[in-house]
Amino acid sequence: MTNFDFLKDLDHDLYTIAGIAEKLYRDEYFEQCMGQTRRFAENAVKKVLGRSAPYDATFDELINTLKDRSTGNSIEKEFIDDLYFLKKAGNISVHGATVKKDAITALECLRRMFEVAINYAVHTDKTSANLLKRNYDEELLLLGRPKQEQSLKEKYIAAKEKFEKAERKTKKVNDVNKGKKKITDTPVKTPQTKKSKTKKNINTAPVITPLKTTQKTSAKQKSLNNRRKKTNHSHDTRLPLFLNPVVIAFSILLGLIIILTAALGLKIQ
């Protein structure tokens, strides 16, 4: 199976040339592949021009004839650009003195050949306009068949991607749940809660005596203290120190001693 299966019933010769070009690419005969793409392009131009193509005309002359007959729309312009590219690349590969393993240019030639084939098919069979949406499948080129089963490596990569995707999704859900939990953990002060809290504060708070009562009590206490002081003064029967009998007797005795001492001193003299 190739990218050019749509040509199989439309033009078997072009289908065969395209199949050979793809096989040469898979076998890494890149220059021969480019030569086949040039061959395809030249035959496609001849088929498009039909009987109006000049007899024994060169590829350049065929492209110029097609260019002269073009109406200038984008599809025809693209078709002619692809033909020029394939002609130039094919000439270099055929007439080159050195062999180049130019896989990139060969792959580009296959893509251009595919576009030429699409435009040719649309030009030949007007019902195949949906082919313009098709793209060249490089995987089909390399495998030579549609991809049916994944390799072990591809299965591992797919499973890993699936696991990582599920893990990211789980983490995202957990983050969202954590955010919700933080919000719900914050207590909401409802009117009932406030009321009960106020009541609790009232019950446990110390009793505060009104200011006026405190002032009256202080005044009474002060008056009572003053009365007690007066009473204490009135009942205090203790005499002053100089009227105490013991003090008086001691003073008299001390005076007598002094007099006697003085008298004795005079007598001795």
* Per-residue pLDDT tens digits for 43-66: 999 999 888 887 788 999 999 998
Report the C-alpha dihedral over residues 120, 123, 128, 133, rounded to 10 degrees.
Answer: 60
Question: Per-residue DSSP letters for 199-236?
Answer: HHHHHHSPP---HHHHHHHHHHHHHHHHHHHHHHHHT-
Structure pTM? 0.53
Q: Domain spans of the chain?
A: 5-143, 150-186
Query: Per-residue pLDDT tens for 147-164?
Result: 555 556 666 777 887 888
CA distance 73 to 200: 90
> Range with the lowest mean pLDDT among 37-41, 47-51, 238-242?
238-242
* CA distance linking residue 260 with residue 269, whole number of Å: 14
Give the pLDDT confidence of 163-189 residue by residue, as tens digits. Answer: 888 888 888 778 777 776 665 555 555
Q: Which CATH number fits domain 5-143: 1.10.1740, 2.30.30, 2.60.40, 1.20.120?
A: 1.20.120
Residues 6+ apart with CB under 8 A from 135: none
For residue 195, pLDDT beyond 70: no
Task: Specify the pLDDT at position 211.
Answer: 47
Percent of the chain at pLDDT above 90?
A: 30
How confident is the model over 244-263, as a mean pLDDT? 82
